[in-house]
Amino acid sequence: MYSLITLLFVVPVLISLLLLIVPRSLAKPLVITTALLLSAISVYLFIDTEGVYYFGVPAYVNDIVTVADIILLVFFGWIAIKKRSWIVGLMSLLQLAGLLYLLNSMPAHHSLQFMVDKLSLFMFLLINIISGIIAVYSLRYIDEEHCSSFRKKYFLSTIFWFIAVMNLVVSSDNLEYFFLFFELTTLASFLLIGFRKDEVSVKNSLTALWMNQIGGLAILAAIFFIHHNDYGDATFSNLLANAKAETILLPLALLSIAALIKGAQMPFSKWLLGAMVAPTPVSALLHSSTMVKIAPFIILRLSPALKDTPVANVIIALTGFVFIAAAIGALSQDNFKRILAHSTIALLALMIMMAAVGTPVTIVASLILVLFHGISKSMLFLNAGILEKVFHLKQSSDMDRLGESGPFTALVITIGFMSLLLPPFGAFIGKWMSIESLGALATDKKILGALIMVAVAGGGAVLSLLYFKVMGLLIARTGNEDKIHFEKTGPFYTITTYLLLGLLLVTVVGLPLLLNNYFTPVATQITGTTVALVTEGWTMYLGAVKLPLLPMIIAFLLLPVTMVAAMFVRFKNVDRAKEYMCGEKVNYSFSSFYFSTDRATPYFATAGILFFVALIIVALI
């Protein structure tokens, strides 16, 4: 067991080093086998493990970690000098100072540094499978980038050591180790965003760097407060054990701030939006499926301690606001990847909110959202990459011919959007449960609950509108040709897309099974109370939340299947006529509507700030 977990840490690092040296022809099979190996290990671990495993590492690893920490921070400082960015420099100095102070004043560790529980195994599954698919995809993608062949190897290699770091992040218990791995993900993000080396990329990578460094600083401050108040070793388990202590809220709040920054919640959302200039596998991997999922992961880890505290209420208020604000912000975007980024921020807000509420049902909702959002968003981003490389399309207003020239990609993007939206796909169920379970919150904190319910439901409606707006562009077709010819994009692109589609289908069809064997055990372990899934006739009960199955099944047949069928349906023996243009014979090409929010923005901003302040006040009452 331990050996398998260690494999998950070590194998990606080895492969990353190997990729720098081997020639291209060897790289392909290497990447594919590694992806398969990592996925297989994580699946086996999840199925076969019960209970929580703690394990420690020999003492010299502690020293290695400390040295690595310091080297990393010095490297950040060097970047600051090289790129002349005073704020990165300031952050690095503060972090270095904090780290050295802590190293001096911290007592020796007594507890074990790594903890692998069901939540970690769940995250392993998500990380390894999705990263594997994306790594295979980037084999082809990076071939078409304009850069030296060494940089291409460097790209693949960075992706792999990033996978290792993610595996380490979700299994660390010790907060100092967690800090190192957190900062390493920041480093990966910085390097990969700046990959293309043009001015915009460099600027955005620096923004990502200093914003995430604030998160690192927050973690250091949390460690400081834990020691200052004598809670023992700075570990997650210790925090949870001391959940009833008086001043425990401060470290919890600081860790939550780190989570909110990593999850690009407002006011820290600028870095994620700017990160979209990176190559698409980066956006798919870091900024939608794995790295930003550290945010709900932290809150999930801390949720037994956070539940029903003022910190949780503030988090709920903040993320509720972000959900609807990001959804509205997305309406005015034209760049396809930016639309996806806004939608990521919105859904992350929902995941964090669910984790902060902390009842068993909401935890299940959060987990469902994490998994399904990971699959759907990575599929959407991979197709955005296909759009970029094969069709040379970045702005969604240019995509109005895609229904004819690239029907398969249009279909996949449509399915991807629908999977975030429609029943019975998991993300919808996640949103669904969030509304239902917020009802539970609303009984004792009425105003907050009511406002949050409105924000969630309203944000859901706005997001639906957004997705339908983009889908509308993809579906436009002249009536000239009725037959659909699916286009061919290379095998790597098609196979990875099919894999993700297949995953989506399997998870949807197997949702009841998944709920029972997958999500509820994780939730049970986190919250400590049993969560059971009971089926009565045509309704499923999860805790007190009712899931009416029959309407959902019919809705599935009506809506997603309709969308897919619309592409293939053919009415025979029916005339085809021209569109009505008042008799004119000209062909118009028309794009979609832009909710240009320039003049309305001050309006929205004031309304938003008022709403937000009101929420915070209400949360603290």
Partner 1 sequence: MKLASYRKKSPWILHYNAGGCNGCDIEILACLSPKYDIERFGMINTGNPKQSDILLVTGPVTKRSRERLVEIYAQIPEPKVVIACGACASTGGVFRGMYNCEGGIDQYIPVDVYVCGCGTRPEQIIDGVVQALAILETKTKELEESVRLNKEALKEESQLNRRNIADEIKPAFI
Partner 2 sequence: MLLILLAPVIGGLVYGFERIIKARMQRRIGPPLLQPFYDFFKLADKRKMIVHSAHAFLGIMHFVSLWFALGVLLLGGDLILVIFLHLLSTALLILAAYSTRSIFSHLGANRTAISILAYEPVLIIIAVSIFMLTGSFDAAAAFQSEQPLLFKMPLAFIALLLVLPIKLKKSPFDVAEAHQELTGGVELEFSGIFYEAIYTAKWLDYVFCYALVYLFAGNDVLLGAGLIVFTFFYLNALDNSTARVSYKQMLRFSLTVSFSLAFINLLINSLT
- Smallest distance from the beta carbon of 588 to partner 1, in angstroms? 15
| Block residue for tokens 């990380």 | 127
Cis peptide before 12 (omega within 30 of 0): no
The count of residues interacting with partner 2 (CB under 8 A) is: 62
Q: Using the 8-state DSSP alphabet, how is residue 545 labeled?
A: E
- Smallest distance from the beta carbon of 593 to partner 1, in angstroms? 22
Out of 244, 392, 585, 599, which residue is the one contacting partner 1 (CB under 8 A)?
585
- Taking the least distance from each CB to partner 2, the nearer of 240 and 447 is 447
Is there binding between residue 197 and partner 1 (CB under 8 A)?
no
Is there binding between residue 397 and partner 2 (CB under 8 A)?
no
Is there binding between residue 17 and partner 2 (CB under 8 A)?
no
Residue 305: how many other CB atoms lie within 10 Å: 23
Instruction: Answer yes or no: are the C-beta atoms of 165 and 172 closer than 8 Å.
Output: no
For CA atoms 384, 389, 395, 398, the dihedral sign is negative
* Binds 583: which of partner 2, partner 1, none (CB < 5-8 Å by kind): partner 1
Out of 247, 478, 517, 530, which residue is the one contacting partner 2 (CB under 8 A)?
478
Out of 60, 568, 571, 590, which residue is the one contacting partner 1 (CB under 8 A)?
571
Is there binding between residue 571 and partner 2 (CB under 8 A)?
yes
- Taking the least distance from each CB to partner 2, the nearer of 502 and 551 is 551
Is there binding between residue 576 and partner 1 (CB under 8 A)?
yes
* Binds 464: which of partner 2, partner 1, none (CB < 5-8 Å by kind): partner 2
**Half-sphere exposure of residue 101: CA atoms within 13 angstroms, side-chain side:** 14
* Binds 585: which of partner 2, partner 1, none (CB < 5-8 Å by kind): partner 1
Q: Which long-range contacts (CB under 8 A, 24 or more apart) does 22-28 make?
A: 24/149, 24/152, 24/153, 27/139, 27/153, 27/156, 28/139
Instruction: Answer yes or no: are the C-beta atoms of 119 and 525 closer than 8 Å.
Output: yes
| Block residue for tokens 């050996």 | 3
Is there binding between residue 588 and partner 1 (CB under 8 A)?
no
- Smallest distance from the beta carbon of 599 to partner 2, in angstroms? 10
| Piece of the chain touching partner 1 by CB under 8 A; list 20-28, 248-256, 425-433, 571-579 | 571-579
Q: β-strand 53-55 against 114-116: which pairing, if any? A: antiparallel
Out of 464, 516, 524, 597, which residue is the one contacting partner 2 (CB under 8 A)?
464
Cα–Cα distance for residue pair 210/250, rounded to 1 Å:
23
* Binds 148: which of partner 2, partner 1, none (CB < 5-8 Å by kind): none
Give the DSSP H or E segment for 364: helix 360-386
- Taking the least distance from each CB to partner 2, the nearer of 151 and 477 is 477
CA 48 to chain centre: 26
Over the window 423 to 462, marking each residue x when it contacts partner 1 by CB under 8 A and - when it does not, the resulting string is ----------------------------------------
Footprint of partner 1 on 465-484 (CB under 8 A): 479-480, 482
Footprint of partner 2 on 514-553 (CB under 8 A): 546, 548, 551
| Piece of the chain touching partner 2 by CB under 8 A; list 47-55, 384-392, 521-529, 576-584 | 576-584
Is there binding between residue 475 and partner 2 (CB under 8 A)?
yes
Tokens of 611: 């709403």
CA distances from 346 to 321, 366, 373, 449 (A): 9, 13, 11, 18
List the 533-536 sheet strands across, edge first.
Answer: 533-536, 539-542, 545-548
201: closest CA among 145, 266, 138? 145
Cα–Cα distance for residue pair 361/545, rounded to 1 Å:
8
* Binds 110: which of partner 1, partner 2, none (CB < 5-8 Å by kind): none
Q: Using the 8-state DSSP alphabet, how is residue 219 labeled?
A: H
- Smallest distance from the beta carbon of 567 to partner 1, in angstroms? 18
Burial (0-12, 13-18, 19+ Cβ within 10 Å), 176? buried
* Residues found near partner 1 in the complex (CB under 8 A): 479-480, 482, 571-578, 580, 582-585
Q: Interface residues with partner 2 (CB under 8 A)?
A: 403, 422, 432, 435-436, 439, 442, 446-447, 449-450, 453-454, 457-458, 460-462, 464-465, 468-469, 471-473, 475-479, 482, 546, 548, 551, 554-555, 558-559, 562-563, 565-567, 569-571, 573-581, 587-590, 592-593, 595
